[in-house]
Chains A and B, each alone.
Chain A
């Protein structure tokens, strides 16, 4: 395992080729773990953070099956490089504001990563395209076992794995599905569907995770409780609610197609018009307009070859990705212009 300065690829979870990917963009599972012998990050000293970081990376080196993993220490990265990792969902935005040794250990395809010294000592994450909770859980379970042999996890028989925030303790598990639900919004059924989800113990968040607003018709559905049932039961319950939501979205798409195809086509073509002619573009505006194109592709009203393009664009037009592409820091206006330029070129040539 070696330390990385920067390695820039499109993460696999945004490839757009998993099961049910017409509605479920990606599945993500995370486990929260802490080392018993150190205080949680909110109270730990810089020395303790260094110890935790070193112990976790050392534990990875002990496991031969994880030899090809790389690690990033945020103290060695500049601000844009750190934001780049956050845009790839390898680290959280919260990690950027913490002091001391912290970072992430991940595999080359960016499917598995372990974030170190954020809210908890470890946040293990598995993420991939489409609906695939079982595969991801199997991978994560293995990593958890391997690290658990090397490290001394904070664990009690009664309350399970102990975490910095009691909302995560027990299994430390959260499964979340990133879903694209434009038809439920257009048919005004979204509130009803999400209310039903919340009654089944499933919470809804926006595209950028906790406390984020709804943009681009993207929603993240995830389990609320983490204690009192097995990991498989939490996965199954959340999946059941997610599949119900998928069904509702597909029905809503059929209804729009039979009742309002002309209006939908108009919306899609207008979105395409703005995307290909705008001089300046915000991230939110891009996400909202590209949501219309995505819906168009799924309803066979728009060129399907643009689907993988949209996925690539969605990550490419984020601020740190744009600045890395241009190899310089850009202010807000310059970012909007660079974003509109990139989108235009993409639609013209299929490349940046």
Chain B
């Protein structure tokens, strides 16, 4: 059984083919991750989108990380990201790169807990995760996505708030 290449946890049920510069890019996602990307199709399906090379280049130049001003075109030429926010800003492109290099987009090594004051404490995080599992079991996928996003937003928020405090 093929697993979702985004979360690596659920079975991939949505198979997306994109044609970019005459090359087919195939992604295999689970329902949850496909919903997150705005693809609300259930079951196996193929959707094809076309992006011309010129259009893509323009997008890469204009698309700039708000924190460090790095454009994706600059990243492609230098191979270095400008800050940790780039990972979220260029999420799709970076995840496909991670997949190529590591064969995974999910960290399985040692965990790390910020010692900053804005971190959700472990108990609260645990509770959210339990709620998430419960929602998945009951097949309440919309609720599950909401909880998942909440968990994710705590990561984002923590980083932002620490940053603001530092400034």
Which of A32-40, A82-90, A99-107, A124-132 lies on the face that meets chain B? A32-40
Q: Provide the main secondary structure of the chain A interface.
A: loop
Which A residues are in CB contact (< 8 Å) with B101? 166-167, 224-225, 227
A171 — nearest CB in chain B belongs to which residue?
B109
Whether B107 lies near A159 (C-beta < 8 A) is yes
Write out the residue numbers on chain A whose beta carbons fall within 8 Å of the beta carbon of B94: 166
Interface string of B1-45 (1 = CB under 8 A from A): 000000110000000000000000000000000000000000000
With A36-B159, A149-B115, A164-B80 in contact, is A231–B109 under 8 Å at CB?
Answer: yes
Mark the stretch among A73-81, A150-158, A240-248, A261-269 that contacts chain B. A150-158
Inter-chain contacts of A39 with B (CB < 8 A)? 67-68, 82-83
The residue in chain A whose Cβ has the minimal distance to the Cβ of B70 is A43
Instruction: Fill in one digit per residue for A130-157: 1 if any B CB lies within 8 Å of its CB, else 0.
Output: 0000000000010010001110111111
- Is B107 a contact of A171 with CB atoms below 8 Å? yes
B69 cross-chain contacts in A, Cβ below 8 A: 43
Interface residue tally on B, bucketed by range: 35 or more
Kindly state whether residue B78 has any CB partner on chain A within 8 Å.
yes
Tell me which residues from 27 to 73 in chain A have a Cβ below 8 Å from any Cβ of chain B: 34, 36-40, 42-43
Distance from B91 Cβ to chain A, minimum over Cβ atoms (Å)? 10
* Count of A interface residues, CB-CB < 8 Å: 42
Which chain A residue shows the least CB distance to B166?
A37
A278: B residues at CB distance < 8 A = none
**C-alpha gap A164/B7 in the complex (Å):** 22
A162 within 8 A of B: yes
Hey, which chain A residues are within 8 Å of B159, CB to CB?
A: 36, 154
Q: CA separation between A344 and B115, bound complex, in Å?
A: 57
Contact between chains at B87 and A43 (CB < 8 Å): no
- Complex alpha-carbon distance, A162 and B84, angstroms: 6
Q: Decide yes or no whether A350 CB sits under 8 A from chain B.
A: no
Distance in angstroms between the alpha carbons of A341 and B102 in the assembled complex? 48
* Shortest CB distance A30–B (Å): 14
Given the complex, which residues of B lie within 8 Å of A22, measured CB to CB?
none
**B116: A residues at CB distance < 8 A:** 152
Q: Could you say which residues of chain B place their CB within 8 Å of the CB of A164?
A: 80-81
Tell me, in angstroms, the Cα distance from A296 to B116 when the chains sit together. Answer: 57
Q: Is residue B63 contacting chain A, with contact meaning CB distance below 8 A?
A: no
Q: Is the CB of A154 within 8 A of B107?
A: no
Tell me if B48 is interfacial: C-beta within 8 Å of chain A.
no
Contact between chains at A159 and B110 (CB < 8 Å): no
Write the nearest CB–CB distance from B98 to chain A, whole angstroms: 6
A227, B110: Cβ atoms under 8 Å?
no
State the Cβ distance, A53 to closest chain B Cβ, in Å.
Answer: 16
Chain A residues whose CB sits within 8 angstroms of the CB of B8 once the complex forms = 228
The answer to whether residues A170 and B109 also contact, given A158-B7, A162-B84, A228-B102 and a CB cut-off of 8 A, is yes
Give the shortest distance, in Å, between A182 (CB) and chain B (any CB). Answer: 32
Q: Are A162 and B98 in contact (CB under 8 A)?
A: no
Given contacts A149-B115, A152-B162, A227-B98, A158 and B70 within 8 Å (CB-CB) = no
| Residues B101-132 near A (CB distance < 8 A) | 101-112, 114-116
Q: Is the CB of A226 within 8 A of B102?
A: yes
Contacts of B46 in A (CB 8 A): none
**In whole Å, how far is B3's beta carbon from the nearest beta carbon of chain A?**
11
B163 within 8 A of A: yes
**Separation of A256 and B103 alpha carbons in the complex (Å):** 40
Considering the complex, give the chain B residue whose CB is closest to the CB of A41: B80
Measured CB to CB, the nearest residue on chain A to B83 is: A39
Does A161 sit within 8 A of B, measured CB to CB?
A: yes
Complex CA–CA separation, A15 to B63 (angstroms): 51
> For residue B84, which residues in chain A have a CB less than 8 angstroms away from its CB?
34, 36, 40, 154, 162
Contacts A141-B110, A171-B110; is A40 near B103 (CB within 8 Å)? no
Point out the residues of chain A lying under 8 angstroms from B105, CB to CB: 158-159, 227-228
Q: Is the CB of B109 within 8 A of A42?
A: no
Interface residues as binary, A153-181 with B (CB distance below 8 Å gives 1, 0 otherwise): 11111111110111101110100000000
In the bound complex, what is the Cα–Cα distance between A154 and B86 (angstroms)? Answer: 12
What are the nearest 8 A-B pairs in CB distance?
A: A228-B104, A160-B107, A43-B82, A171-B109, A154-B84, A227-B102, A39-B83, A225-B102
Given A144-B110, A159-B107, list of 4 further CB < 8 A pairs? Answer: A43-B70, A150-B115, A158-B106, A171-B110
A sample of 8 inter-chain contacts (CB < 8 A) reads A37-B166, A43-B82, A119-B80, A144-B110, A159-B87, A170-B109, A225-B103, A227-B106
